[in-house]
Amino acid sequence: MKILSNVFLNQKKLTVTNKKIATMLIAMFAVHAAASNAACNGYVGITFDDGPTSNTTTLINLLKQNSLTPVTWFNWGQHVASNPSLIPQELGVGEVQNHSYTHPHMANFTYQQVSSELSQDNQAIQNAGAPKPKIYRAPYGELNSTIRQAAADLGLFAMTWDIDSADWNGASTAAIVSANNQLQNGQVILMHDGIINTNNAIAQIAANLRAKNLCPGRIDPTNGRAIAPSGSGGSSSSSSSGGGGTGTITVRARGTSGQEQIQLVVNNTTVATWTLSTSYQNFTVNNSATSGILVKFINDATNRDVQVDYIIAGGVTKQAEDQTFNTGVFQSGACGGGNGHSEWLNCNGAIGF
Ligand SMILES: [Zn+2]
């Protein structure tokens, strides 16, 4: 469907001079964003298993140098017990989580055996000064109902990964970089602490993610998905290098075809453009605005419609169907023809929050 929303009319009224200034401002903002991590199209989970090791300090320095933080460490309990002083260093660049105490194959373990492995690792990690783990990554990716139950009873979400870098299996630095390049918003990659090819991949992984405005995130302990760093991770990890922290805007939306594009416009400035999939996804940027926020559908065509579930701005959830400003929903025979109160954008137009 076709309609010129008020937003578009306003844009057309811009003079050439104003457009140039606007372009310059956007370019300046982009430079700032690249430097400070201000704009994130999404978050990915950068994870390292099996540490701490004699390599941990080197790896942490590489992560810091390349601003590839925060990361998640899935620590091997025996290694924690022999290197407890490395845990505070790990906490300085991320979160420390559970990867079992002796790293055994557990598919045939009893509930008690699994529980013992996981609780011993929790104890070693906490003894070294880290908060109680909330996530368990299964060695070898071996999960079953017994393992999941034992983990859940210890307050641990059991997970594996979305993408395996295969660094444990001799993958080249280029292959590790390439695996990381497949990461999409919310996904988590498996890497390891103690592998030289992984160390050598860090700079390029960071550069590639930055080019796509994908930011390292923490892992949500309720579902194993990568999300924005909260800045409230652990007692020792007071600094979140993700920037912002409290000031984020999250948009939850999907499209009917998976080709729909939306933009987040804050106080008349476009701060992000996202392509939707047919399933709901959360898109997050670092921005402290709590009003003057538009979610705008920009590429309407046959069979394309956008459904916006809600946004979260300044920590407050605002449902799309509670908003009266909606120039993109088809109501009363026209785009934006009614009083809003809809999750839908059937035409190019915006929901105002
Ligand atoms: Zn492992």
Other residues' Cβ atoms within 10 Å of the Cβ of residue 18: 10
Domains 6-36+245-352 and 42-227 belong to one CATH topology: no
pLDDT at 141: 97
pLDDT band for position 305 (50/70/90)?
confident
**C-beta separation of 256 from 280 below 8 A:** no
225 backbone dihedrals φ, ψ, rounded to 5° = -95, 150
Tell me, in angstroms, the distance from the centre of ligand 1 to residue 144's CA. 17
Q: How far is the CA of 207 from the centre of ligand 1 (A)?
A: 26
CA of 139 to the centre of ligand 1 (A): 5
* pLDDT score at 271: 76
Check residues 297 and 291 and name the one with the higher pLDDT. 297
Confidence bin at 180 (pLDDT 50/70/90): very high
Confidence class of residue 21 from pLDDT cuts 50, 70 and 90? Answer: very low
Distance 61 CA to ligand 1 centre (A): 22
Q: Check if the beta carbon of residue 177 is closer than 8 Å to that of residue 204.
A: yes
Kindly tell me if the per-residue pLDDT of 35 is higher than 50. no
Map residue 152 onto helix, strand or coil: helix
Q: Where are the domains of the chain?
A: 6-36+245-352, 42-227
Question: How many C-beta atoms surround the C-beta of residue 25 within 10 A?
Answer: 11
Q: Separation of 233 CA from ligand 1 center, angstroms?
A: 23
If you measure from the C-alpha of residue 140 to the centroid of ligand 1, how many angstroms do you get, rounded to a whole number? 6
Least confident of 16-30, 42-56, 61-75: 16-30
pLDDT tens digits, 58-114: 999 999 999 999 999 999 999 999 999 999 999 999 999 999 999 999 999 999 999
**Mean per-residue pLDDT for 274-279?**
71
Higher per-residue pLDDT: 187 or 278:
187
| Pair of tokens at residue 352 | 């105002």
Domain 42-227: top CATH class: alpha beta
- From first CA to last CA, the distance across the chain in angstroms is 23
Q: How far is the CA of 73 from the centre of ligand 1 (A)?
A: 11
| pLDDT at 345 (0 to 100) | 83
pLDDT band at 278 (very low <50, low <70, confident <90, very high): low
- What CATH number does domain 6-36+245-352 carry, 3.40.50.1100, 2.40.50.180, 3.40.50.300, 2.60.60.40? 2.60.60.40
Q: How far apart are CA 252 and CA 77, in angstroms?
A: 37
Q: How far away, in angstroms, is 65 Cα from ligand 1 center?
A: 25
220-266 pLDDT, tens digit per residue, is: 999 999 999 975 333 333 333 433 446 667 687 878 788 887 877 77
Q: How far is the CA of 343 from the centre of ligand 1 (A)?
A: 43
- Residue 228 CA, ligand 1 centroid: distance in Å: 25
Strand residues in 39-83 grouped as ranges (E): 42-49, 71-75
The mean of the pLDDT values for the chain is 82
Q: What is the 211 CA–ligand 1 centroid distance (Å)?
A: 30
pLDDT number for residue 29 = 40
Q: How far is the CA of 50 from the centre of ligand 1 (A)?
A: 5
pTM of the full structure: 0.58
CA distances from 232 to 59, 131, 237, 240, 242 (A): 23, 11, 8, 8, 12
From ligand 1's centre to the CA of 195, what distance in Å? 12
Span from the CA of 206 to the centroid of ligand 1 (angstroms): 23
Centre of ligand 1 from the C-alpha of residue 142, in Å? 11
For ligand 1, the distance from its centroid to the CA atom of residue 288, given in whole angstroms, is 39
Distance separating alpha carbons of residues 247 and 268, to the nearest angstrom:
18
Ligand 1 center to 308 CA (angstroms): 39
**CA 47 to ligand 1 center in whole angstroms:** 11
Res 274: pLDDT: 67
